[in-house]
């Protein structure tokens, strides 16, 4: 008897171990190596965003593939390839999926890491992160959705200009890849047909490192480590020699400086406002006869980035923002429509289905996540992987997407602080939420604006998936009503405004030379 039970117990234990394997396959680790259907060798002729011309920054002519120094560089690859460890093979596979993709992913990770609101001071005020002392609490930055949208945009736009410059010099110098020079160089990745100097991976790396250091100054160790791994992966793979990488990285850094200068002057640094501005925005709303938004956090937290609507846009000018993009005023808080919309949200808060809760959480993208712009970057990345884009086209498409997401953030924040509309739970204290209540005015919904912009740009890039993008955007938008944190008007006007912003990115796509 005893033995039987002992055996049963052991058998049950063993079965459990086998049946509950904890191994998880993470989607981003199985992306295939980049292997473009169209190499886009002419990307050096595409229209840059900030550069005056593709050749604005110098890139010195490469040494000849017959020179002794080049042979030294070939030998460096051979020494790397002499024994390739499993870890090195993983590095090659990881970075082989694409430079724009991986640096975008790295930024998403940093955004998630830093997307936590600062804890209050003992006196009930809130400290602001300081870029000049990024590791002191509260660490810099608080990567909230507008901050993140701007970060993704600068990274992507700069990567695009760096690619245009890099491809320009590739065509100009036409130095072939190491595996074409020496048959003993193994190629661990698909052979690129492009000239190899300067390396497109390295221009992306060079520009990305500088932008990431600007935007996440406390994470330089992590960023540098990624850069080292990226370069090593290129050498191990036999894809580039050292001078391809050095030239590309240097060129990328030069391009970065131009974007950093723009970032320093784009008014984001003062978007937090000050007590005078906070009081003024509230007073202006009251003067219009409306009920102003009030922070429902304890202690009351000033609205998030109250002047982000004044940040310099990428795709249109500030006049266009006010005259053509800004949505009309929301339903008055005293109107019948407002009451109907408020009642609808109360109803969601009382009678949410499990599927609606799933949707609310799927799109929540709240604190400690990559934010809604990050979510759309992830969606785009997963789809772009299937498209076999060249590195330059990845950069161009990500730049269109992320410039639209940043401008969507600006347009949305402009509306939020222009109208200063209260949240449903402020107007009806019975309303409780199933996702974090954002600390800023309601109209228009940020998720909806981001999603409207992303939907438009992604449908332009991959028309075959247009319907899916529309469905996703609508679901993301509705998720905010299910979460009981937005009215229907916020969501509908948000989508509409986002669509408008996205169309400016599409217009740019029509004339950038990449179609």
Partner 1 sequence: MIKNKFKIISIIFCLLFFNQISFSQTDIDGLMMQKNFFCVGPTVGYSSWKNYWEGTNKRENLNLGTVSTTAAMVMGNYGVTDKLNLLFGLPYIKTKASAGQLAGQKGLQDLSLFVKWVAKEKKIGKGNLKGILIGGYSTPVSNYTADILPLSIGLHSKTAMLRLMADYEMGDWFATISGTYNFRNNVTLDRNSYYTTEMHYTDEVKMPDATYFNVRAGYRSSTWIIEAIADQWTTIGGFDITKNNMPFISNKMNATKLGIHVKYDTDFVNGLSFVADASTTVAGRNAGQSTSFGGGIFYILDFSKKKKEETQK
Q: Which residues of the shown chain bind partner 1 in the complex (CB under 8 A)?
A: 2, 5-6, 9, 12-13, 16-17, 20, 22, 24-29, 105, 108-109, 112-113, 116-119, 137, 296-299, 349, 354, 357-358, 361-362, 364, 367-370, 378, 425, 432-434, 436-437, 484
* Shortest Å distance, C-beta 425 to partner 1: 5
The secondary structure of residue 183, as a DSSP letter, is T
As a whole number of angstroms, the distance between CA 450 and CA 454 comes to: 6
In the complex with partner 1, the residue whose CB is nearer, 118 or 190, is 118
As a whole number of angstroms, the distance between CA 511 and CA 46 comes to: 9
* Shortest Å distance, C-beta 310 to partner 1: 27
* Shortest Å distance, C-beta 246 to partner 1: 30
* Shortest Å distance, C-beta 180 to partner 1: 35
In the complex with partner 1, the residue whose CB is nearer, 438 or 452, is 438
Q: What is the token pair recorded at 139?
A: 């660490």
In the complex with partner 1, the residue whose CB is nearer, 5 or 83, is 5
* Integer angstrom CA distances of residue 30 from 90, 381, 385: 11, 13, 10
As a whole number of angstroms, the distance between CA 351 and CA 346 comes to: 9
In the complex with partner 1, the residue whose CB is nearer, 67 or 220, is 220
* Shortest Å distance, C-beta 15 to partner 1: 9
Cβ atoms of residues 46 and 392 within 8 Å = yes
Q: Compute the residue count for the chain.
A: 515
Q: Which of 291, 292, 343, 293 is nearest to 488 (CA)?
A: 343
* Shortest Å distance, C-beta 471 to partner 1: 16
In the complex with partner 1, the residue whose CB is nearer, 7 or 324, is 7
As a whole number of angstroms, the distance between CA 114 and CA 142 comes to: 6
Cβ atoms of residues 364 and 479 within 8 Å = yes
In the complex with partner 1, the residue whose CB is nearer, 85 or 119, is 119
Residue found by looking up tokens 């993140």 in the block:
148
* Shortest Å distance, C-beta 164 to partner 1: 29
* Shortest Å distance, C-beta 358 to partner 1: 4
In the complex with partner 1, the residue whose CB is nearer, 181 or 481, is 481
* Shortest Å distance, C-beta 444 to partner 1: 20
* Shortest Å distance, C-beta 297 to partner 1: 6
In the complex with partner 1, the residue whose CB is nearer, 9 or 133, is 9
255 CB neighbour count, 10 Å cutoff: 28
In the complex with partner 1, the residue whose CB is nearer, 319 or 430, is 430
Cβ atoms of residues 211 and 162 within 8 Å = no
* Shortest Å distance, C-beta 34 to partner 1: 18
In the complex with partner 1, the residue whose CB is nearer, 106 or 185, is 106
User: At residue 268, what are phi and psi to the nearest 5 degrees?
Assistant: -70, -30
By CB neighbour count within 10 A (0-12 exposed, 13-18 middle, 19+ buried), where does 5 fall? Answer: exposed
In the complex with partner 1, the residue whose CB is nearer, 197 or 384, is 384
As a whole number of angstroms, the distance between CA 178 and CA 195 comes to: 10
By CB neighbour count within 10 A (0-12 exposed, 13-18 middle, 19+ buried), where does 101 fall? Answer: buried
User: Which residues, 6+ apart, have CB-to-CB distance to 348 below 8 Å?
Assistant: 356, 481, 482, 484
By CB neighbour count within 10 A (0-12 exposed, 13-18 middle, 19+ buried), where does 275 fall? Answer: exposed
User: Which residues, 6+ apart, have CB-to-CB distance to 499 below 8 Å?
Assistant: 452, 453, 455, 456
Rg, C-alpha atoms of the chain: 25
């Amino acid at each position: 008897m005893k033995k039987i039970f002992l055996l049963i117990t052991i058998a049950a234990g063993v079965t459990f171990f086998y049946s509950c394997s904890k191994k998880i396959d993470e989607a981003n680790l199985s992306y295939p190596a980049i292997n473009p259907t169209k190499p886009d060798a002419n990307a050096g002729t595409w229209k840059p965003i900030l550069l005056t011309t593709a050749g604005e920054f110098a890139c010195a002519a490469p040494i000849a593939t017959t020179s002794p120094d080049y042979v030294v560089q070939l030998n460096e690859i051979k020494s790397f390839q002499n024994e390739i460890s499993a870890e090195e093979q993983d590095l090659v596979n990881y970075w082989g999926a694409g430079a724009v993709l991986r640096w975008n992913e790295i930024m998403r990770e940093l955004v998630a890491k830093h997307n936590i609101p600062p804890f209050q001071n003992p006196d009930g005020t809130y400290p602001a992160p300081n870029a000049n002392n990024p590791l002191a609490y509260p660490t810099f930055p608080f990567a909230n959705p507008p901050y993140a949208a701007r970060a993704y945009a600068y990274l992507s736009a700069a990567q695009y200009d760096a690619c245009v410059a890099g491809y320009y010099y590739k065509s100009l110098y036409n130095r072939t890849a190491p595996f074409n020079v020496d048959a003993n160089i193994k190629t661990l990745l698909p052979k690129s047909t492009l000239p190899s100097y300067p390396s497109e991976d390295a221009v992306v790396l060079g520009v990305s490192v500088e932008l990431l250091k600007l935007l996440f100054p406390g994470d330089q160790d992590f960023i540098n480590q990624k850069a080292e791994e990226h370069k090593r992966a290129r050498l191990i793979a036999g894809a580039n020699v050292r001078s391809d990488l050095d030239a590309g990285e240097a060129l990328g850094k030069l391009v970065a400086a131009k974007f950093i200068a723009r970032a320093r002057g784009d008014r984001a640094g003062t978007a937090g406002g000050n007590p005078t501005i906070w009081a003024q925005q509230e007073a202006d709303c009251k003067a219009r006869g409306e009920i102003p938004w009030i922070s429902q956090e304890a202690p009351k937290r000033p609205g998030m980035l109250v002047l982000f609507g004044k940040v310099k846009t990428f795709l249109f000018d500030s006049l266009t923002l006010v005259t053509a993009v800004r949505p009309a005023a929301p339903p008055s808080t005293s109107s019948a429509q407002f009451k109907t919309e408020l009642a609808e949200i109360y109803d969601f808060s009382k009678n949410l289905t499990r599927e609606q809760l799933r949707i609310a959480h799927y799109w929540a993208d709240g604190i400690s996540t990559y934010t809604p712009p990050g979510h759309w970057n992830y969606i785009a990345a997963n789809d772009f992987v299937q498209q076999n884009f060249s590195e330059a086209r990845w950069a161009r498409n990500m730049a269109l997407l992320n410039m639209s997401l940043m401008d969507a953030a600006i347009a949305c924040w402009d509306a939020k602080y222009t109208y200063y509309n209260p949240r449903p739970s402020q107007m009806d204290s019975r309303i409780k939420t199933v996702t974090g209540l954002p600390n800023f005015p309601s109209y228009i919904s940020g998720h909806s604006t981001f999603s409207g912009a992303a939907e438009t740009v992604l449908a332009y890039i991959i028309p075959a998936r247009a319907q899916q993008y529309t469905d996703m955007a609508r679901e993301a938008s509705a998720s905010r009503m299910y979460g009981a944190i937005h009215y229907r008007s916020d969501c509908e006007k948000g989508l509409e405004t986002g669509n408008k912003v996205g169309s400016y990115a599409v217009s740019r796509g029509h004339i950038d030379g990449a179609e």
